[in-house]
């Protein structure tokens, strides 16, 4: 699967394939090695093994989450595409700060191995520790990680240690995007999923060439189905007409946007509402995590609701909160209920799980 003469690098230490295998085995055998670090060495051994595929869990972009088998040859092609796009060279440093259980974490390792890049790592926390690093050529983070790093002391200086940073896992809040305009790092938002072996398109978030539109990697072609959902073709990684649940909007140059997911759409009285678009308008006035969803309604079919992570407000606070919301929204966009939920569910990568069924709809709500 991998050329035997290839040189691998971890924190500046070079290995051939046999040496890397031995290094991983020794690391795993050291008592007290953290589980997250053992996962790095275990995955490297699996990648170097004769097995032709890797088992991974999907995120649910094309349906319900499930376990699938990815061919190593396709993972290799995906890694090469990213290395080429960002002009990474052997010896360039790449930072792994994502859980190896996720496809994003696995692919950071694969890129390092395939490209002869210098793999550096830190624990996959919601606020990666960047103090120990002087300069990183390439890294990947979730939106939550970027927010937490920026909000920490010397956050901008920490991000600026990274030359090129890709951000995925969830939508990019407008407030975060505004903050990223003052960093010197190149920031790119990715579009992709496990089935496409991470990203198939990127958009520049900051700098003079920033854009609202995603542009596909070379070799990727896209279209839409009868529901206006994005369909992907990427022959190099074995993808043919992969239909997603993401509603798509195209521009004349071949770029695209994702207004929202078809399975998140709220049909209220015959009006289709995209929660993601409404959430954008509410950014900056709600300090806690929140999302828009729908609950069954006998008259409307679905009633639009706002679910906020946190404790219930008192009557006066709630009224003021709702009045402020109404200044940002219009017509059908205004939620009929505000639901307070103590803690939201999240995926392993920190992505919010929109699960209105677990919210205490009948208890801790206010109706408008």
More confident residue, 161 or 359: 161
Residue 364, pLDDT above cutoff 50? no
Which residue is associated with the tokens 């992709």? Answer: 192
Question: What pLDDT is recorded for position 348?
Answer: 65
d(CA 69, CA 195): 9
**Confidence class of residue 285 from pLDDT cuts 50, 70 and 90?**
confident
Question: What pLDDT is recorded for position 166?
Answer: 97
Q: In Å, how far are 45, 58, 209 from 172, measured between CA atoms?
A: 34, 21, 17
Is the distance from CB of 247 to CB of 261 less than 8 angstroms? yes
**Residues with Cβ within 8 Å of residue 25, at least 6 apart in sequence:** 41, 45
More confident residue, 217 or 313: 217
Question: What number is the average pLDDT over the span 217-223?
Answer: 95
Residues 213 and 271 in one domain: no
Residues 208 and 322 in one domain: no
Residues 65 and 212 in one domain: yes
pLDDT in tens, 90-136: 999 999 999 998 899 999 999 999 999 999 999 999 899 999 999 99
pLDDT in tens, 222-243: 999 999 999 999 999 999 999 9
Residue 222: inside a domain:
no
pLDDT in tens, 29-43: 999 899 999 999 999
d(CA 143, CA 169): 6
Question: What pLDDT is recorded for position 83?
Answer: 97
In the three-class reduction of DSSP (H, G, I as helix; E, B as strand; rest coil), residue 42 is classed as: helix
Here the contacts of 130-135 (C-beta below 8 Å, separation 24 or greater) are 130/158, 130/161, 130/162, 131/158, 133/95, 133/161, 134/161, 135/93, 135/161, 135/163
Residue 251: inside a domain:
no
Q: Tell me the residue range of the domain where 142 lies.
A: 8-217
Residues 59 and 153 in one domain: yes
Question: What pLDDT is recorded for position 362?
Answer: 43
> What's the mean pLDDT when you consider all of the chain?
88
| CATH number of the domain where residue 38 is located | 3.40.50.12780
Across 1-15, 60-74, 302-316, the highest mean pLDDT is recorded for 302-316
Concatenated DSSP letters of 125-187: -SS---TT-S-EEEEEEEHHHHHHHHHSTTHHHHHTTEEEEEEESS---HHHHHHGGG-SSEE
Residue 336, pLDDT above cutoff 80? yes
Residues 166 and 272 in one domain: no
**Confidence class of residue 330 from pLDDT cuts 50, 70 and 90?**
confident
Residue 198: inside a domain:
yes
pTM of the model: 0.80
Tell me how many domains the chain contains: 2
pLDDT in tens, 52-96: 999 887 765 555 567 889 999 999 999 999 999 999 999 999 999
Question: What pLDDT is recorded for position 14?
Answer: 96
Residue 226: inside a domain:
no
pLDDT in tens, 133-179: 999 999 999 988 998 999 998 999 999 999 999 998 667 777 788 89
């Amino acid at each position: 699967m991998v050329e035997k003469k290839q040189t691998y690098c971890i924190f500046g230490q070079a290995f051939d394939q046999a040496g890397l295998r031995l290094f991983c085995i020794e690391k795993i055998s050291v008592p007290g090695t953290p589980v997250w670090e053992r996962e790095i060495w275990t995955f490297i051994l699996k990648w170097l093994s004769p097995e032709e595929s890797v088992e991974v869990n999907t995120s649910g972009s094309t349906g319900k989450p499930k376990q699938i088998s990815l061919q190593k040859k396709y993972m290799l092609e995906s890694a090469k595409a990213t290395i080429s796009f960002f002009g990474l060279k052997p010896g360039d440093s790449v930072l792994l700060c994502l859980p190896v259980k996720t496809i994003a974490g696995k692919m950071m390792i694969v890129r390092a191995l395939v490209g002869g890049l210098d793999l550096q790592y830190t624990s996959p926390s919601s606020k990666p520790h960047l103090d120990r690093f002087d300069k990183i050529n390439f890294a990947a983070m979730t939106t939550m990680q970027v927010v937490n790093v920026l909000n920490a002391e010397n956050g901008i200086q920490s991000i600026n240690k990274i030359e090129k940073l890709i951000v995925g896992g969830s939508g990019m809040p407008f407030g975060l995007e505004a903050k990223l305009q003052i960093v010197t790092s190149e920031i790119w938002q990715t579009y992709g999923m496990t089935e496409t072996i991470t990203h198939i398109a990127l958009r520049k978030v900051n700098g003079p060439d920033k854009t609202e539109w995603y542009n596909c990697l070379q070799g990727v072609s896209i279209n839409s189905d009868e529901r206006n959902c994005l369909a992907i073709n990427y022959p190099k990684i074995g993808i043919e007409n992969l239909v997603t649940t993401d509603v798509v909007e195209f521009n004349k140059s071949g770029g695209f946007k994702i207004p929202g997911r078809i399975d998140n759409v709220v049909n209220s009285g015959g009006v289709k509402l995209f929660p993601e678009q409404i959430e954008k308008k509410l950014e900056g006035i709600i300090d806690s995590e929140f999302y828009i969803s729908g609950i069954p309604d006998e008259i409307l079919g679905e009633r639009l609701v706002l679910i906020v992570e946190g404790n219930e407000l008192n009557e006066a606070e709630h009224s003021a909160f709702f009045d402020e919301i109404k200044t940002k929204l219009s017509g059908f966009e205004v939620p009929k209920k505000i639901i307070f939920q103590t803690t939201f569910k999240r995926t392993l990568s920190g992505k919010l799980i929109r699960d209105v069924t677990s919210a205490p709809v009948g208890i801790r709500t206010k109706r408008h």
